[in-house]
Amino acid sequence: MGRISPNCIGMFRATKGAITPKHIDVWVYILEVNETVLDWPEKEKRQIRWAPCKTAARELREPVLTHLCHRLAQS
The DSSP line for 16-66 is E-SSS-EEEEEEE--EEE----S--TTTTT-------HHHHHHH-S-HHHH
Domain spans of the chain, in order of start: 2-34+48-74
Average pLDDT, the chain: 89
Render pLDDT for 18-47 as a digit per residue (tens, 0 to 9).
889 999 999 999 989 999 888 889 999 988
Q: Say what the pTM is.
A: 0.71
35/5 Cα distance (integer angstroms)? 16
Do residues 34 and 2 lie in contact, with contact meaning Cβ atoms separated by under 8 Å?
yes
| Type of residue numbered 22 | K
Q: Which residues contact 65 (CB under 8 A, 6 or more apart)?
A: 10, 12, 28, 56, 57
